[in-house]
Amino acid sequence: MSGLMVDRELCIGCGRCVKACASAGIELVGERPNRFARPTDSCVFCGSCVDACPVDAISIEKDERADAAELASYAGIWVFAQVDDEGRVLPVAFELLGRARELAAERGCRVSAVLGEGAEAPSANEELLIAAGADEVLVCRDERLAHRDAEVFARWICDLARPRKPEAILYGATAFGRELAPGVAVRLQTGLTADCTVLAMDPETGLLQQTRPAFGGNLMATIVCPAHRPQMATVRPGVFAAPEFDSTRMGTVSEVSLDDSVVPRVRVLGYETADAGASIADAERLLVVGRGIGSKKNLPLMRELADALGAKLGCTRPLVESGWLEYPHQVGQTGVSVAPKLLVSLGVSGAIQHLAGIGGAQTVIAVNDDPDAPIFGAAHYKVVGDCIEVAEALLETLHS
């Protein structure tokens, strides 16, 4: 039987599971002392009740025959190394290599970078990938990989992964990575966890524990892929620190090919490169505003403050949804992940998706009138007060 299981011997009928459930997926039946919890048809298997149960009476069971020998035949962690239009490896690939290196050291396995480029690309990226932590670079230079076509890349990675059997593949959660990874998952019939903020690996079993914000709100979920390999995850840029580059590290470069049968089916008619200066992703100073600024008419004040701080302006998702600011300003899980030296946060409550995007900030100063606002949990300095008053006072101080 698959499903949410409640051990009636252990269940004490306390009802904590019912309180923890957001979807009315579990209920109490019977009278004390014989009261016990029972899952309902509304259960979505989120696992909230499992964590809430004080006596470990609840579990999510699956009929799954994980063939231990088959699982053990997979080894090594792969990192997809996305390159930009100038042929540079994106920083997120280095960040992932750094984390993969740490996981591999505990697990005692190899780290491979997977690099696909156009036929004419110079061979400089391999060294960088090795310096960042790769033991091996699987590189293919083929004109069909010159333009980032997710289907072409997916078929290429699947062809590489089938005989080589990596136990995990990590991708940057870029626009391209988020299209590519599901294409690989469906072709290999394996699991994929989007936008992880924490990755841990069991050194014994190699089970990858992938933690991501869930339920659109204040919850984190830890997800595993117990019986399928490779285990796959995407991770937002800025979640992990960039590794130290060690140019003395040794690694191998293996040239691999792309099957002749793979033909791009999406034709690119043209493209425009966005103004990189407009990007908040690599701003050193950032002013982030949320619903707490009250009204759109306070935006000019915020822009003025941003200018005085020498900062770029970011915002939370509700402001973009209300049309106050454009999407490129949105900071968070579904917007841009940022890693500034200084982040001043005004009137931001701090939903977990937003917090997922500011983990890379070195110093966070938050102003909010709610002393319990979750943003304070991510802040180094806090001001409990009216963010407009604080903004005006700060502007005056900076001008004087």
Partner 1 sequence: MRIVVCVKAVPSTTEVKMDPVTNTIVRDGRQAVVNPFDATALELALRIKDERAAAGEHVDVTVLSMGIPDTERLLRDCIARGADDGLLLSDRAFAGADTLATAYALTCGIESMGAPVDLVICGKMAVDGDTAQIGPELAGALDVPCIAGVERLVELCGKVLSAERATDAGREFVEVELPAVITVAKDAAQLRMPSIAGVLAAEDAPVAVRTAADVKADPTRTGLAGSPTQVVRSFVPERAHEAVPVEGTAAEQAAALATLIEEACR
Residues in region 333-362 near partner 1 by CB under 8 A? 333-334, 341-342, 344, 351-353, 362
Nearer to partner 1, 112 or 333 (CB): 333
Amino acid identity, position 105: A
**12, 28, 60, 242: residue in contact with partner 1 (rule CB under 8 A):** 60
Q: Is 20 in the site for partner 1 (CB under 8 A)?
A: yes
Contact positions with partner 1 (CB under 8 A) in 205-264: 209, 213-228
Amino acid identity, position 22: A
Find tokens 């923890």 and name the residue.
Answer: 20
Smallest distance from partner 1 to CB 284, Å: 7
Q: Is 204 in the site for partner 1 (CB under 8 A)?
A: no
Contact positions with partner 1 (CB under 8 A) in 82-101: 82, 84-85, 90
3-state secondary structure 320-339: HHCCCCCHHHEECCCCECCC
Closest to 359 measured CA to CA, from 217, 235, 244: 235
Nearer to partner 1, 215 or 245 (CB): 215
Q: Is 294 in the site for partner 1 (CB under 8 A)?
A: no
What would you report as the CA-atom Rg of the chain, rounded to the nearest whole angstrom? 24
d(CA 34, CA 18): 16
Smallest distance from partner 1 to CB 246, Å: 27
- Cis preceding-peptide flag for 237 (omega within 30 of 0): no
The pairs formed by 380-388 with CB atoms below 8 angstroms and a separation of 24 or more are 387/292, 387/293, 387/346, 387/347, 388/293, 388/294, 388/298, 388/301
Environment class of residue 371 by beta-carbon count within 10 Å: exposed (0-12), middle (13-18) or buried (19+)?
A: exposed
Q: Is 55 in the site for partner 1 (CB under 8 A)?
A: no
Nearer to partner 1, 18 or 253 (CB): 18
Contact positions with partner 1 (CB under 8 A) in 299-338: 309, 327, 333-334
Nearer to partner 1, 78 or 153 (CB): 153
Q: Is 271 in the site for partner 1 (CB under 8 A)?
A: yes
Q: Is 393 in the site for partner 1 (CB under 8 A)?
A: yes
Contact positions with partner 1 (CB under 8 A) in 183-202: 183, 185-187, 189-195
Nearer to partner 1, 36 or 45 (CB): 45
Q: Is 21 in the site for partner 1 (CB under 8 A)?
A: yes
Closest to 80 measured CA to CA, from 131, 144, 150: 150
Number of other residues whose CB lies within 10 A of the CB of residue 108: 9
Work out the end-to-end distance of the chain between its first and last CA atoms, rounded to an integer number of angstroms.
71
Smallest distance from partner 1 to CB 303, Å: 17
Contact positions with partner 1 (CB under 8 A) in 104-143: none
d(CA 366, CA 360): 15
Nearer to partner 1, 132 or 391 (CB): 391
